[in-house]
Chain A
Amino acid sequence: MAMSELSLKSVRKTFGALEVIKGVDLEIEKGEFTVFVGPSGCGKSTLLRMIAGLEDISSGDLEISGQRMNETDPSKRGIAMVFQSYALYPHLTVRQNMGFALRFAGVPKAEIEKQVMDAARILELEKLLDRKPKALSGGQRQRVAIGRAIVRHPKVFLFDEPLSNLDAELRVHMRVEIAKLHKKLGSTIVYVTHDQVEAMTLADKIVVLRDGRIEQVGSPLQLYSDPDNRFVAGFIGSPKMNFLPATAVTQNGQSLIRLDDSGILLPAGHLATQLADGTRLVAGLRPEIFKDGGDSSLLLDVEMVEHLGSETLVHARSGETLLIVKFGGIRPMKDGETIRAEFDAASVLFFGADEQRIR
């Protein structure tokens, strides 16, 4: 088996009596772009800071390139970090900021200059090298922060919500830049974000965290189409998946699932799990599975329509439950209207009372 670049084994973190990381096992391959995603307070930033060496590891092992790093100084772990607030030294120029770590590692001046120029070229910062951070825009500062990481040629890049301080347009731009950079450098990246769009677009591998535990690890599309539990299903995908209460029933010897609000019956024969009659379930319908010509349908009372041009988002009610339905293109629709939304029953996911997926 190939050795992982970064490996976490039963890693835990406690602050006094409070456990914030509750046993994380994770392998990250060389060159992989891994994104930690989860709601705020899930421990994703703490986990990243533990990898960086900015937080102690209470128990478990952290290995980088096969070497145990639990007690190693941050600067000697072979990592470089990009912070949310950029954390550029305000009294130093861009050039000095980028070469700072090398200066402390005792790298000769000429070599520092070369490394800084190389990184500046990659990030198109050549013209800004003699400026102070104060004279740069948010996007430029973020590029300098990335440049500062690049010059160190780390084994692992760590990004802590690097785009959160940028405006929406610049965020999209920088997202593309980071993706390009990853392709160009082929480096191992661990990236923390709470934005699932960033996670979906950038990651080779997404790690969904909740409450200090890993909920699921997989490729973006795996998590989207084959989530292990209701939390992951709800967290990945935008707008969020709709959850409808449902019950397992048997009719004429056929096992079916009835949506409680509408009484619609969906086939359950494809599920490997045998469901006892009356089992309480939750059906998950992604907003985008609704399309004309589907084999099932729901009657919905429209409460609000959002016309986005390329698509139409309909907020509608099925009995007690509020759903968001996404239609392609422009749909003339009015509030208060009742519509028939068709979908393929095969694309509906089911979750048990314990929130785990029923396959």
Chain B
Amino acid sequence: MDRFTRALAAFFTYAFLGIMAFLSVFPFIWMVMGATNTSIDIVKGKVGIGSALMDNIRAFATTVDVPLVFWNSIKIALIATALTLIVASLAGYGFEVFRSKYRERVYSAILLTLMVPFAALMIPLFIMMGKLGLIDTHWAVILPTIGSAFVIFYFRQSTKAFPSELRDAARVDGLKEWQIFLLIYVPVMRSTYAAAFIIVFMASWNNYLWPLIVLQSNEMKTITLVVSSLASAYYPDFGAVMVSAILATLPTLIVFFVMQRQFVQGMIGSVK
């Protein structure tokens, strides 16, 4: 290849990447710019920085109990994530490390649940939560998410890289099975936990459909529900919607940037 073709190839490569990057980043930019414009400007399709930021924040803060909504979202996301990680890592570790005649059959049954669409589960789940008396409580949002087949699958796959000799060494050193899990497995697999934390936290934070069904009173609502209810009002204030959207996005952005390195490492594998 001569210099000209190489330069041409590079040009097209970068042009393509540039377009793709713009397409992914533009909604964010538009959201941020939108938060500074009036609702009318946004509807008109104005692209640019406006001067209505403070008005929008005020409008948002007066219609919504911001601290409560945030607290609801954070509480649900953190508890759901913590429980999911505990359940899934114990299950994934168990499936990989302990032998049993029924191991693969039970595991396949769990993986099969990935095929069942959530829409098919909504009504039975709702009835179940109703019978448990949990409708309009945060537990109704948290409980159905903690037995995640996908996260169990992720932990089992990652556990394949956990050396069996480490477990042997720990047994010779006098550790019981639960101590091996807590003192050896958990610290060795921390990148796997970090990656799983990000995935589960984001999913839980962004969860919309199920909370919409089971959370009915305003004091229980999460940020995603608030954003959507603002946007679907009879006369939506799009400025306030943009502010709420930014606030809804921030925590996941922060979590991702803080844990980015562990996330990538966890995706590659904890043990090297």
Query: CA separation between A265 and B174, bound complex, in Å?
Result: 63
* Those of A98-149 within 8 Å (CB) of chain B: 100-101, 104-105
Which residues of chain B are within 8 angstroms of A85 by Cβ–Cβ distance? Answer: 163, 165
- The smallest beta-carbon distance between B125 and chain A, in angstroms, is 39
- The smallest beta-carbon distance between B189 and chain A, in angstroms, is 10
Q: Which residue of B lies closest to A91 (CB)?
A: B187
Given known contacts A81-B169, A83-B165, A83-B169, A90 and B174 CB-to-CB distance under 8 angstroms: no
Asked if B175 and A87 make an inter-chain contact with CB atoms under 8 angstroms apart, the answer reads no
Given known contacts A89-B184, A90-B188, A90-B271, A52 and B172 CB-to-CB distance under 8 angstroms: yes
Residue in A54, A84, A89, A91 whose CB lies within 8 Å of B172: A54
Q: Which residue of B lies closest to A101 (CB)?
A: B173
Query: CA separation between A221 and B195, bound complex, in Å?
Result: 57
* Those of A31-64 within 8 Å (CB) of chain B: 49, 52-54
Interface set of A (CB-CB < 8 Å, partner B): 49, 52-54, 73-76, 79-81, 83-85, 87-91, 100-101, 104-105
Which residues of chain B are within 8 angstroms of A88 by Cβ–Cβ distance? Answer: 169
- Further 8 A-B residue pairs, CB within 8 A, beyond A79-B172, A85-B163, A101-B174: A52-B168, A75-B171, A81-B172, A85-B165, A87-B163, A87-B169, A89-B184, A101-B173
Which residues of chain B are within 8 angstroms of A105 by Cβ–Cβ distance? Answer: 174
B166 at the A interface (CB under 8 A): yes
Asked if A89 and B166 make an inter-chain contact with CB atoms under 8 angstroms apart, the answer reads yes
Asked if A74 and B172 make an inter-chain contact with CB atoms under 8 angstroms apart, the answer reads yes
Q: Which residue of B lies closest to A103 (CB)?
A: B173
- The smallest beta-carbon distance between B170 and chain A, in angstroms, is 8
Asked if A84 and B166 make an inter-chain contact with CB atoms under 8 angstroms apart, the answer reads no
24 pairs, CB–CB < 8 Å, chain A vs chain B: A52-B168, A52-B172, A54-B172, A74-B172, A75-B175, A80-B172, A81-B168, A81-B169, A83-B165, A83-B168, A83-B169, A87-B163, A87-B166, A87-B168, A89-B169, A89-B170, A89-B184, A90-B188, A90-B271, A91-B187, A91-B190, A101-B173, A101-B174, A104-B175
Asked if B163 and A89 make an inter-chain contact with CB atoms under 8 angstroms apart, the answer reads no
Query: CA separation between A90 and B171, bound complex, in Å?
Result: 16
Given known contacts A54-B168, A89-B166, A73 and B174 CB-to-CB distance under 8 angstroms: yes
Asked if A104 and B174 make an inter-chain contact with CB atoms under 8 angstroms apart, the answer reads yes
With a 10 A CB-CB cut-off, give which of B168, B169, B187, B190 has the most chain A CB atoms.
B169
Query: CA separation between A80 and B173, bound complex, in Å?
Result: 8
Asked if B163 and A101 make an inter-chain contact with CB atoms under 8 angstroms apart, the answer reads no
Which residues of chain A are within 8 angstroms of B170 by Cβ–Cβ distance? Answer: 89
Query: CA separation between A91 and B270, bound complex, in Å?
Result: 11
- The smallest beta-carbon distance between A17 and chain B, in angstroms, is 14
Q: Which residue of A lies closest to B168 (CB)?
A: A54
Which residues of chain A are within 8 angstroms of B271 by Cβ–Cβ distance? Answer: 90
Query: CA separation between A76 and B171, bound complex, in Å?
Result: 10
Query: CA separation between A227 and B255, bound complex, in Å?
Result: 68
Query: CA separation between A116 and B265, bound complex, in Å?
Result: 33
Asked if B166 and A101 make an inter-chain contact with CB atoms under 8 angstroms apart, the answer reads no
Which residues of chain B are within 8 angstroms of A80 by Cβ–Cβ distance? Answer: 172
- The smallest beta-carbon distance between B254 and chain A, in angstroms, is 26
Which residues of chain B are within 8 angstroms of A73 by Cβ–Cβ distance? Answer: 174
Given known contacts A87-B163, A87-B165, A91-B187, A54 and B171 CB-to-CB distance under 8 angstroms: yes
Query: CA separation between A78 and B183, bound complex, in Å?
Result: 23
Asked if A75 and B174 make an inter-chain contact with CB atoms under 8 angstroms apart, the answer reads yes
Asked if B169 and A91 make an inter-chain contact with CB atoms under 8 angstroms apart, the answer reads no
Query: CA separation between A74 and B176, bound complex, in Å?
Result: 11
Asked if A74 and B171 make an inter-chain contact with CB atoms under 8 angstroms apart, the answer reads yes
Which residues of chain A are within 8 angstroms of B184 by Cβ–Cβ distance? Answer: 89
- The smallest beta-carbon distance between B197 and chain A, in angstroms, is 18
Q: Which residue of B lies closest to A77 (CB)?
A: B172
- The smallest beta-carbon distance between B14 and chain A, in angstroms, is 37
Given known contacts A89-B184, A90-B188, A75 and B165 CB-to-CB distance under 8 angstroms: no
Residue in A74, A79, A84 whose CB lies within 8 Å of B165: A84
With a 10 A CB-CB cut-off, give which of B168, B172, B174, B179 has the most chain A CB atoms.
B172
Asked if A75 and B188 make an inter-chain contact with CB atoms under 8 angstroms apart, the answer reads no
Which residues of chain A are within 8 angstroms of B165 by Cβ–Cβ distance? Answer: 83-85, 87
Query: CA separation between A52 and B175, bound complex, in Å?
Result: 14
B138-181 vs A: 1/0 string, CB under 8 Å? 00000000000000000000000001011011111111000100
Asked if B188 and A89 make an inter-chain contact with CB atoms under 8 angstroms apart, the answer reads yes
Which residues of chain B are within 8 angstroms of A74 by Cβ–Cβ distance? Answer: 171-172, 174
- The smallest beta-carbon distance between A100 and chain B, in angstroms, is 5
With a 10 A CB-CB cut-off, give which of B171, B174, B184, B271 has the most chain A CB atoms.
B174
- The smallest beta-carbon distance between A243 and chain B, in angstroms, is 38
Which residues of chain B are within 8 angstroms of A52 by Cβ–Cβ distance? Answer: 168, 172
Which residues of chain A are within 8 angstroms of B174 by Cβ–Cβ distance? Answer: 73-76, 101, 104-105
Asked if B172 and A101 make an inter-chain contact with CB atoms under 8 angstroms apart, the answer reads yes
Query: CA separation between A53 and B163, bound complex, in Å?
Result: 18
Q: Which residue of B lies closest to A73 (CB)?
A: B174
Which residues of chain B are within 8 angstroms of A76 by Cβ–Cβ distance? Answer: 174
Query: CA separation between A8 and B130, bound complex, in Å?
Result: 63
Which residues of chain A are within 8 angstroms of B179 by Cβ–Cβ distance? Answer: 104
Which residues of chain A are within 8 angstroms of B169 by Cβ–Cβ distance? Answer: 81, 83, 87-89
Query: CA separation between A80 and B188, bound complex, in Å?
Result: 22
Query: CA separation between A76 and B175, bound complex, in Å?
Result: 11
| Top-8 shortest CB links A-B | A75-B174, A87-B169, A101-B173, A87-B165, A91-B187, A104-B174, A83-B165, A74-B172
Query: CA separation between A89 and B271, bound complex, in Å?
Result: 11
